[in-house]
């Protein structure tokens, strides 16, 4: 049986295609989406060719859906269950997962399957490997559109704060306050950051950053962000930096604004260029104890269950990320183009089906 999906046809080209409905393995599930959201990563993939060419690959890795089929060995989930689908769906038996890096199960970044080397979620149906380990039930009372932010924006943004090792009272700078960076602001705030700088320019994002806990806003369009941070900190800099926007040269700024002993947590997807440069003097001539950690978000059920509990118990409200809501798959292209063009009033679009 055939289904429709919105696909990358080649670098720079997207459109609707028809494919076979995916088959369900014994540990797997087939899911019908209820709400999906396009991601800046889809834009890197299609228009920058960041992971190389892909032909007729269905896009999308952010979804909440309903299970329509489960494999014979699936224990905890059944047909009709509503589930949150993480963007990263590791192979939990792999050695990388056993080593604590499930997102790299099977090779670097290979826990990222949807819209990378397997069809994604912008389709009438999609396949989820290891359903018991990779899907979390959507709790009653949580809006599916808000819950889609748990697929990627929340776990990625929160991972930025984990990678930076934010501790009580730290001064933190979050560079980039699109939906990912906003969730880094929320995470740094929950982890107890003291002074919390947020770097961005879109007015909606700035307002959201304040609501999520930013104490100071830095507009990178108003001059060098390092100079602005140094000015505001009496020349000392910050304890931690989370990078969720900018480009390869943003690392030069992040290292420069960091205090000795500080950590950078990067979740930005560097879509082009060959090298990231480290400034020698500002890195303490190699002796500054300034650590750079960069990582793909962890996926899987346990993390989704923990993160959704933050929404259930009122500690995190993702609904303010949703600036553009659409009804029906016919709006998929419009929603993706918003992510590509980033109009001033955009934080994140969602398509409810
Ligand atoms: P957005 O494009 O919405 O946000 C980027 C932010 O960076 C904006 O606030 C933007 O400011 C700001 N910015 C742009 N240029 C600069 C600059 N030169 N200096 C400082 N800030 C700048 O992206 P998303 O929030 O959707 O995603 C952020 C990144 O995270 C993307 O690269 C995405 O692919 C990646 N990602 C990584 C994942 C992971 O697992 N590691 C998963 C998902 C996404 P302005 O307000 O002007 O727009
Ligand atoms: Zn994404």
In short, whether 220's Cβ falls inside 6 Å of ligand 1 is yes
Q: How confident is the model at residue 271 (pLDDT cuts 50, 70, 90)?
A: confident
Q: What is d(CA 176, CA 304) in angstroms, rounded to the nearest whole number?
A: 24
Percent of the chain with pLDDT over 70: 100
Ion ligand 2: protein residues whose beta carbon lies under 5 Å: 39, 41, 152
Best of 37, 38, 40 for a ligand 1 pocket test (most atoms within 8 Å of beta carbon) = 40
Sign of CA dihedral 162, 346, 117, 48: negative
Answering whether pTM is above 0.85, one says: yes
Nearest atom, ligand 1, residue 201 CA: 46
Q: Phi/psi at 134 (nearest 5 deg)?
A: -115, -10
Give the domains, in start order, of the chain with CATH numbers.
Answer: 2-152+297-352 (3.90.180.10), 157-294 (3.40.50.720)
Averaged pLDDT for residues 74-88: 98
According to the model, what pLDDT value does residue 314 have? 97
User: Which letter does DSSP use for residue 48 in this model?
Assistant: S
According to the model, what pLDDT value does residue 272 have? 87
Radius of gyration of the chain (CA): 20
pLDDT tens column, 206-250: 999 999 999 999 999 999 999 999 999 999 999 999 999 999 999
User: Which letter does DSSP use for residue 114 in this model?
Assistant: B
According to the model, what pLDDT value does residue 311 have? 98
How remote is the CA of residue 330 from the centroid of ligand 1, in Å?
26
Residue 140 has pLDDT above 90, yes or no: yes
Averaged pLDDT for residues 98-107: 97
Averaged pLDDT for residues 55-65: 98
pLDDT tens column, 149-208: 999 999 999 999 999 999 999 999 999 999 999 999 999 999 999 999 999 999 999 999
Residue 58 has pLDDT above 90, yes or no: yes
pLDDT tens column, 111-123: 999 999 999 999 9
Q: What is d(CA 9, CA 56) in angstroms, rounded to the nearest whole number?
A: 4
Q: Phi/psi at 249 (nearest 5 deg)?
A: -80, -10
Nearest atom, ligand 1, residue 253 CA: 19
Residue 63 has pLDDT above 90, yes or no: yes
In terms of C-beta distances under 8 Å and separation of at least 24 residues, what long-range contacts does 109-113 make, across chains too? 109/296, 111/296, 111/299, 112/61, 112/87, 112/88, 112/296, 113/88, 113/89
Q: How confident is the model at residue 61 (pLDDT cuts 50, 70, 90)?
A: very high
- Block residue for tokens 């690959």: 57
Cross-strand pairs, 15: 7
Instruction: Find all residues with CB under 8 Å of 288, minimum gap 6, and list them.
Output: 260, 282
Which protein residue has the closest C-alpha to ligand 1 atom 18?
246
Report the mean per-residue pLDDT for the chain: 97
In short, whether 265's Cβ falls inside 6 Å of ligand 1 is no
Cα 83–Cα 26–Cα 101 angle in degrees, nearest 5: 65
Burial of 49 (0-12, 13-18, 19+ CB in 10 A): middle
Which protein residue has the closest C-alpha to ligand 1 atom 42?
156
Which one, of 225, 212, 217, lies nearest residue 255 by Cα? 225
Q: What is d(CA 268, CA 194) in angstroms, rounded to the nearest whole number?
A: 23
Q: Which two tokens stand for residue 43?
A: 């834009």
């Amino acid at each position: 049986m055939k289904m429709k999906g919105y696909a990358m046809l080649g670098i720079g080209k997207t459109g609707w295609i028809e494919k076979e409905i995916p088959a369900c393995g014994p540990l797997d599930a087939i899911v019908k989406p209820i709400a999906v959201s396009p991601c800046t990563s889809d834009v890197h993939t299609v228009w920058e060719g960041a992971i190389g060419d892909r032909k007729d690959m269905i896009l999308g890795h952010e979804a909440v859906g309903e299970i329509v089929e489960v494999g014979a060995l699936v224990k905890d989930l059944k047909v009709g269950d509503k589930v949150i689908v993480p963007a990263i769906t590791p192979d939990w038996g792999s050695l990388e997962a056993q080593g604590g890096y499930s997102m790299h199960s099977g090779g670097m970044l290979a826990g990222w399957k949807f819209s990378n080397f397997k069809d994604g979620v912008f389709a009438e149906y999609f396949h989820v490997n290891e359903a018991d380990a990779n899907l979390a039930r959507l709790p009653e009372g949580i809006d599916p559109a808000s819950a889609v932010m748990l697929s990627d924006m929340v776990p990625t943004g929160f991972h930025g704060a984990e990678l930076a090792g934010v501790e009580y009272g730290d001064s933190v700078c979050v560079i980039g306050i699109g939906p990912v960076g906003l969730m880094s602001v929320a995470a740094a705030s929950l982890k107890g950051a003291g002074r919390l700088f947020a770097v961005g320019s879109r007015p909606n994002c700035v307002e959201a950053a304040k609501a999520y806990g930013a104490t100071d806003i830095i507009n990178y369009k108003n001059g060098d962000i390092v100079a602005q941070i140094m000015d505001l900190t009496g020349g000392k800099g910050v304890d931690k930096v989370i990078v969720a926007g900018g480009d390869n040269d943003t690392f030069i700024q992040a290292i420069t604004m960091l205090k000795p002993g500080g950590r950078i947590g990067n979740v930005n997807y560097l879509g082009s260029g060959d090298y990231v440069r480290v400034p020698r003097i500002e890195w303490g001539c190699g002796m500054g104890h300034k650590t750079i950690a960069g990582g793909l978000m962890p996926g899987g059920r346990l993390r989704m269950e923990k993160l959704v509990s933050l929404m259930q118990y009122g500690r995190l409200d993702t609904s303010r990320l949703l600036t553009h809501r659409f009804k029906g798959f016919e709006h998929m292209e419009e929603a993706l183009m918003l992510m590509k063009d980033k109009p001033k009033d955009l934080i994140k679009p969602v398509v409810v089906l």
